[in-house]
Amino acid sequence: MKRILKAVATSVGGWFEARLRLKPAVMPILEHPIPAGAAGPKGWWYVFGSASMTLLFLQIATGIGLALVYVPSADQAYQSLEYLNYRQPFGWFLRSLHYWSGSGMVVMVVIHMTQVFLHGAYKYPRELTWIFGVLLLLLTLGMAFTGQVLRWDADAYWGVGVGASMAGRVPVAGPGIVELLIGGPTIGASTLSRFFALHVFIIPGLLITLVGGHLWLVLSRGISEPPVPGEPVDPKTYDAKYHEELKKGKPFLGDAMTKDAFFSALVVLVVVTLAAVIGPKGPGGLPDPTLTAANPRPDWPFLWLFGLLSLSPAGLETFVMLAFPVVLVICLLLVPFVSNRGERAPSRRPVAVLIVLVGGTTLAVLTYEGMTSPWSPKMGAWSGDTIPTAIVKRATPLELQGAAAFQNKDCRNCHALDGVGGRRGPDLSTVGTRLTRDQLIDQINNGTPGGGNMPAYGKHVRPAEMDAMVAFLMSLRPPGQPPAKVALVPAPTAAP
Amino acid sequence: MTTQVLNRIPAFLIAFTLLASGCNPPGKPTPPQTSGRPEAVTDFNVLYAAHCAGCHGTDGTLGPAPPLNDPLFLKIVPDTELVRVVTEGRAGTSMAAFDQKKGGPLTTAQVKVLAEGLKTKWGKPGGPTDVPGYLLTPGGNVEDGAMMFAMACASCHGDKGQGGKSGELRVGAINDPAFLALSSNQVLRRFIITGRPDLGMPNFTEKTNRPHNFSTLTAKDVADLTSLLNSWRSPATK
């Protein structure tokens, strides 16, 4: 049976080959030699680029599928997503695959870049390959952002709003850029069309073109050999050395391609599993600016930026929005020019390792901050987060009234009790051990001195409410601990 | 060995995809019950958790505000009063207005869902009979109230409502001017009738922690006690 199939395949294949004559063009590409080291166990370092490309193909396939149903108009996009989610057979799975494969693509591109950076593979003669790679990273992030906008929900709406406001701060050209980006001075009917065109035509066009260029460079200059400590790159001698190395090289079609295929299959399997188990993202709340309960968050690739912007001092805002990303991209583009020679092995490049460690930690911490966003008040906490029952059980009638006033005055939106509630201000579970009665009254009445974090609530609190709330707050102490007499922390002072 | 594994990957992938999409994998979204606009939410539990639980407690007990999961309270409170209080709040207290017409976050329909849902969810038939009415009644005698206080309340709350102890439990003052300023006569009357079962305060007929000669409070007793508490208010809030 197997033999018959093989015979049929050979004869059909032969028929086409006799007419197309592809072999002379394709075989040299597939069989081009790669350094012997890259074909061995170290070859596993080289699989991330092809996995990124595999996910790009998956994105194109699922994206075309979604475009058959999705309606890129402000008034129907949300409904068409709901249609995909709940009515179109497998529509939810298509959305889910597209989301998880897109997320996977960002992950793979970042891992690929990190590997190339750590192994010094961007050094002579592969500077241009690196530059194309940086541009591909930007385009991938561009796809992630515009894709988030096409998921036309509250996150998308406010995401465009934030993006446009940032663009609007560009000196002189700002309003023009906003007009171009969202099709008018405010988010409107043509905004979604603009982002649809960006996501479906413009960015993918550039992406595919640059991937072509990137691949051409990989083929023409060859992939880098695994770094060996003590064998620095010298542009004068590198080409000859590499040429010698290729003489001992192995064809790409073989071990290397098998590794690529295996890893890509594994990545796709993970994507499929995530898509099936966790499902598609959103659409979340309606994209309606009159819904004030919206709590928009960017998708995960941008949470670090969200965290950075939120934590930056107001004076630095414009710099962090406009100059910082440009500086970051210029730094990335300059990498192969700053160091295009010398050692490639990470063990001989402590600065490179340090950059990756510090950069990775910074991104992770900022992403965590963006995810938890403790600076945002939790607007529904006052009526939704309960007072811990242990506190209620031991409270006096006055303290109970104080607790009710505490909720009613929205204190809970910024202050947590037992970790539940807003996190903009400190958790007040043990405030009775820290602040005296006078200090509590002062803090509530006048807020943080010098226009600090906490507003002054004196005008919004009646004397009886103040009495009750302060009694309640003073009662917030671990059992057996006396109330604060002299504060353990100094009274807040004005910010410098 | 490796080639054998590799050869099986496509088959495994296809099988997995079919399996994943064929049955109902956990990731398959279920249609939301509402269209996503907050005013379209009409589920009592969702509305209660978002708008009431913060003060009245997760299951209607053990919040700082009066418990709503209290069958005796639900037995005597008129439906119209529930709707009215959720709609416009209770002036002078921490109970906020929840109807959009009064500056609150909810539609009239949602207020109705909440007010009516309380009895459906937590109301129970049975319980004590001859319960004094919920709403405030005119009159009430402060002196009679003081006599009744000594018999029905002082054992826990102290002679003058200054607080005391009930077993291990500390009982706070109820003659505190700030407490009284934030409590309406209506809620005081309600507590005299229903007690606070979640915090161990007996209702109008329970004998827990009360002297042997205690007898069930009558409508007049309740009115007298309310007047007594009202008389403790500082002049500005009477």
Question: Tens of pLDDT along A79-120?
Answer: 999 999 999 989 999 999 999 999 999 999 999 999 999 999
Q: Provide the pLDDT confidence category of residue B7 given band limits of 50, 70 and 90.
A: low
Helix (H) or strand (E) holding A217: helix A203-221
Question: In CATH, what number does B142-237 get?
Answer: 1.10.760
Question: Do A166 and A314 fall into the same domain?
Answer: yes
- Predicted pLDDT of residue A296: 84
Q: Nearest C-alpha of chain B: how many angstroms from A398? A: 5
- Predicted pLDDT of residue B62: 95
User: Which CATH homologous superfamily contains domain B38-122?
Assistant: Cytochrome c-like domain (1.10.760.10)
Pick the last residue of a domain from A372, A389, A411: A372
Question: Do A85 and A169 fall into the same domain?
Answer: yes
Examine residue A19 and state whether it is found in any structural domain, yes or no: no
Q: Which tokens go with A167?
A: 């663009």
**Total of domains in chain A:** 2
- Predicted pLDDT of residue A484: 85
Q: Nearest C-alpha of chain A: how many angstroms from B125? A: 27
Q: Could A272 and B6 be called an inter-chain contact, meaning their C-beta atoms sit closer than 8 Å?
A: no
Q: Which residues of B touch A93 (CB under 8 A)?
A: 20-21, 27-28
Amino acid (one-letter) located at A347: S
Selecting from A96, A399, A464 the residue whose C-beta is nearest the C-beta of B181 gives A464
Question: Do A203 and A230 fall into the same domain?
Answer: yes
How many Cα atoms are found within 13 Å in the side-chain-facing hemisphere of B214? 21
Q: Provide the pLDDT confidence category of residue B9 given band limits of 50, 70 and 90.
A: low
Pick the last residue of a domain from A372, A403, A419: A372
By C-alpha distance, the chain A residue nearest B168 is A394
What percentage of residues in chain B have a pLDDT greater than 90?
67
What percentage of residues in chain B have a pLDDT greater than 70?
88
- Predicted pLDDT of residue A242: 92
> What is the number of CB-based contacts under 8 A between chain A and chain B?
162
**What's the CATH code of the domain at A182?**
1.20.810.10
How far is Cα B160 from Cα B139, in angstroms, rounded to an integer?
21
Q: Provide the pLDDT confidence category of residue A379 given band limits of 50, 70 and 90.
A: confident
Question: Do A229 and A201 fall into the same domain?
Answer: yes
Tell me the mean pLDDT in the region B94-112. 94
Q: Could B62 and A261 be called an inter-chain contact, meaning their C-beta atoms sit closer than 8 Å?
A: no
- Predicted pLDDT of residue A50: 95
Q: What is the DSSP letter of B170?
A: E
Question: Do A441 and A402 fall into the same domain?
Answer: yes
**pLDDT per residue as tens digits for the range B143-163:** 999 999 999 999 899 999 998
Tell me the mean pLDDT in the region B8-37. 68
Examine residue A98 and state whether it is found in any structural domain, yes or no: yes
Question: Do A427 and A455 fall into the same domain?
Answer: yes
Could you list the residue range(s) of the whole structural domain that residue A438 is in? 381-474
Tell me the mean pLDDT in the region A148-156. 91
Q: Could A468 and B179 be called an inter-chain contact, meaning their C-beta atoms sit closer than 8 Å?
A: yes
Count Cβ neighbours within 10 Å for each residue of A37-52 and write b for 16 or more, e otherwise: bbbeeebebbbbbbbb
Please provide the size of chain A in residues: 496
B163 shares contact with chain A (CB less than 8 Å): yes
**pLDDT per residue as tens digits for the range A432-465:** 999 999 999 999 999 988 777 899 999 999 999 9
Tell me the mean pLDDT in the region A199-215. 97
Selecting from A92, A293, A404 the residue whose C-beta is nearest the C-beta of B29 gives A92
Question: Do A100 and A248 fall into the same domain?
Answer: yes
Q: Could B53 and A269 be called an inter-chain contact, meaning their C-beta atoms sit closer than 8 Å?
A: no
- Predicted pLDDT of residue B2: 57
B187 shares contact with chain A (CB less than 8 Å): no
Tell me the mean pLDDT in the region A408-428. 93
Selecting from A92, A280, A468 the residue whose C-beta is nearest the C-beta of B178 gives A468
Closest by CA position to A345, among listed A229, A226, A223: A229
Amino acid (one-letter) located at B47: L
- Predicted pLDDT of residue A277: 93
- C-beta separation of A89 from A61 below 8 A: no
By C-alpha distance, the chain A residue nearest B183 is A401
A268 shares contact with chain B (CB less than 8 Å): yes
**pLDDT per residue as tens digits for the range A278-323:** 999 988 888 888 777 777 889 999 999 999 988 888 888 888 888 9
Question: Do A327 and A463 fall into the same domain?
Answer: no
Question: Do A327 and A443 fall into the same domain?
Answer: no
For chain B, what is the largest distance between any 2 Cα atoms, rounded to a whole number of angstroms?
A: 98
Q: Do domains B38-122 and B142-237 have the same CATH topology?
A: yes
How far is Cα B100 from Cα B108, in angstroms, rounded to an integer?
7
Instruction: Please identify among residues 43-82 of chain B the ones whose CB lies closer than 8 Å to any CB of chain A.
Output: 49-55, 57-58, 62-65
Helix (H) or strand (E) holding A3: helix A2-20
Predicted confidence (pLDDT) at residue A266 exceeds the cutoff of 90: yes
Tell me the mean pLDDT in the region B63-68. 96
Q: Nearest C-alpha of chain B: how many angstroms from A352? A: 35
Contact partners, residue A116, CB within 8 Å, separation at least 6? A122, A130, A133
- C-beta separation of A358 from A123 below 8 A: no
- C-beta separation of A28 from A216 below 8 A: no
Q: What is the DSSP letter of A433?
A: G
Question: Do A460 and A351 fall into the same domain?
Answer: no
Q: Which tokens go with A168?
A: 């609007």
Q: What is the DSSP letter of B164?
A: E
How far is Cα A19 from Cα A342, in angstroms, rounded to an integer?
49
**pLDDT per residue as tens digits for the range B76-97:** 999 999 999 999 999 989 999 9
- C-beta separation of A32 from A219 below 8 A: yes
Q: Could A407 and B55 be called an inter-chain contact, meaning their C-beta atoms sit closer than 8 Å?
A: yes
Q: How many CB atoms neighbour CB B198 within 10 A?
A: 19
Predicted confidence (pLDDT) at residue A491 exceeds the cutoff of 70: no
Chain centre distance of CA A210: 22
* 3-class secondary structure, A67: helix
> Taking the domains of chain B in order of start, what are their residue ranges?
38-122, 142-237
As a whole number of Å, the end-to-end CA separation of chain B is 90
Tell me the mean pLDDT in the region A234-238. 93
Q: Could B57 and A392 be called an inter-chain contact, meaning their C-beta atoms sit closer than 8 Å?
A: yes
Examine residue A17 and state whether it is found in any structural domain, yes or no: no
Examine residue A234 and state whether it is found in any structural domain, yes or no: yes
B29 shares contact with chain A (CB less than 8 Å): yes
The per-residue DSSP string of B173-189 comes to -S--HHHHHTS-HHHHH
Predicted confidence (pLDDT) at residue A222 exceeds the cutoff of 80: yes
**pLDDT per residue as tens digits for the range B175-218:** 999 999 999 999 999 999 999 999 989 999 999 889 888 999 99
Q: Could A272 and B26 be called an inter-chain contact, meaning their C-beta atoms sit closer than 8 Å?
A: no
- Predicted pLDDT of residue B121: 95
Q: Provide the pLDDT confidence category of residue A203 given band limits of 50, 70 and 90.
A: very high
Q: Could A404 and B55 be called an inter-chain contact, meaning their C-beta atoms sit closer than 8 Å?
A: yes
Q: Which residues of B touch A403 (CB under 8 A)?
A: 55, 64
- Predicted pLDDT of residue B22: 58
B151 shares contact with chain A (CB less than 8 Å): no
Question: Do A275 and A366 fall into the same domain?
Answer: yes
For chain A, what is the largest distance between any 2 Cα atoms, rounded to a whole number of angstroms?
A: 96
- C-beta separation of B55 from A306 below 8 A: no
- Predicted pLDDT of residue B27: 86
Question: Do A365 and A401 fall into the same domain?
Answer: no
